[in-house]
Homo-oligomer: A and B are copies of this chain.
Amino acid sequence: MKATVLVRPKGDILDPQGEAVERALRQLGFPVGDARVGRVIDLDVDAASAAEARAQLEEKCDRLLANPLIESYEIELEGRA
């Protein structure tokens, strides 16, 4: 089952990448607000059901894909938001 994990810096965490994007876009003449940069991870999970895939992915996120202290994550399974 194809899955996508979005990992983002939590709201109260400084995000230097986002600040750099904002600054660079402003210099190009595109004012934007509140830019935040995170990671998107696409992967293929071996699971019998969506619930099982989600449970597996949550464990993966907590242990490896995200740093739960400073990042939040969102899991999307193919065909289900």
Residues of chain A whose beta carbon lies under 8 Å from any beta carbon of chain B: 6-8, 18, 21-22, 24-25, 28, 30-46, 56, 59-60, 63-65
Contacts and interface: CB of A to CB of B under 8 A. Distances in A.
Nearest to A63: B28
A56 B29 CA distance: 11
Contacts of A40: 6-8, 37-40
A43 B34 contact: yes
A41 B65 CA distance: 17
A63 B26 CA distance: 12
B32 A43 contact: yes
A33 B42 contact: no
A44 B38 contact: no
